[in-house]
Amino acid sequence: MTRILLVEDDDYLASALVLALERKKYLVDLAKTGAQALESIFSDRYDAVLLDLGLPVIDGIEILDELRKSNEELPVIIITARDRVEDKIKGLDKGASDYLVKPFDFGELEARLRAALRKSNFKNSTQMKFASLSLDTNNGQLKLANESMELTPKEVVVLKTLMTRAGKVVSKRQLMDQIPDWLIESSENAVEIVVHRLRKKLEASEVNINTVRGFGYILELRQQ
């Protein structure tokens, strides 16, 4: 199943698009605000995002900006009424995969979506390794010696950072900096929760995330 996040505040257009996409067998989640969009992006896994730029409070460009800080691969197609050239350039500069100006033909949107998905499937996965752990940072697949599981985007960011500096202490502040600040209400707590979940997932492996009191965390081989 291909999962699409549609970010659109116009009810009429949103329901028409959801219907048309579902008819094409896509699994669609709808976000009507920037906050909802970011919450979904950072807690769920999507194959592509269709992003309206003109949203209340948090603009589509800001969403794209936050998204690209932690995920360079997710295809994002901007759909917007803004036909000004500078908006188009800004969107592409911020890492949009494609750009469609409203009103557009659904057939064209779908063709561009297919093209963006094809391109992203062709990209090589990014594998990181530490001891028996192997993490694919593109799709969040974590392989231990004998099992394989899927991590949430936040877990990927935290584990990736710890793996990059395996054997060295990483502070909570450094981990917090990897996840968009304002998404997290009590940041230190949020880091602790993610680390707690990762520890559970690493239980069957020879690797553990140890706490270095007053400093942060360290990814290292379990003491025998």
Give the span between the Cα atoms of 49 and 28, in whole angstroms. Answer: 10
Tokens of 178: 């990897």
Cβ distance to Ca ion smaller for residue 96 or 179 = 96
Cβ distance to Ca ion smaller for residue 34 or 153 = 34
> At its nearest, how many Å lie between Ca ion and the CB of residue 79?
9
Cβ distance to Ca ion smaller for residue 65 or 177 = 65
Position 86, amino acid: E
> At its nearest, how many Å lie between Ca ion and the CB of residue 32?
9
Cβ distance to Ca ion smaller for residue 54 or 95 = 54
- Interaction with Ca ion in 101-120: which residues (CB under 5 A)? none
CB 135 within 8 A of CB 185: no
Give the span between the Cα atoms of 41 and 75, in whole angstroms. Answer: 12
> At its nearest, how many Å lie between Ca ion and the CB of residue 112?
19
Of the candidates 103, 38, 107, 25, which has an alpha carbon nearest to the alpha carbon of residue 76? 38
> At its nearest, how many Å lie between Ca ion and the CB of residue 102?
9
- Interaction with Ca ion in 8-27: which residues (CB under 5 A)? 9
* Of the residues 6, 34, 52, 77, which one makes contact with Ca ion according to CB under 5 A: 52
* Of the residues 40, 54, 110, 197, which one makes contact with Ca ion according to CB under 5 A: 54
Of the candidates 203, 178, 205, which has an alpha carbon nearest to the alpha carbon of residue 191? 178
Cβ distance to Ca ion smaller for residue 9 or 66 = 9
Give the span between the Cα atoms of 88 and 101, in whole angstroms. Answer: 9
> At its nearest, how many Å lie between Ca ion and the CB of residue 9?
5
Query: Which residues lie below 8 Å from residue 135, measured CB to CB, with a gap of 6+?
Result: 127, 128, 129, 141, 142, 143, 151, 156, 159, 160, 163
For Ca ion, which stretch binds (CB under 5 A), given 25-33, 36-44, 51-59, 215-223? 51-59
CB 218 within 8 A of CB 169: yes
Under rule CB under 5 A, how many of the chain's residues touch Ca ion? 3
The H or E element spanning position 24 is none
| 155: contact with Ca ion by CB under 5 A | no
| 87: contact with Ca ion by CB under 5 A | no
Residues at the interface with Ca ion (CB under 5 A): 9, 52, 54
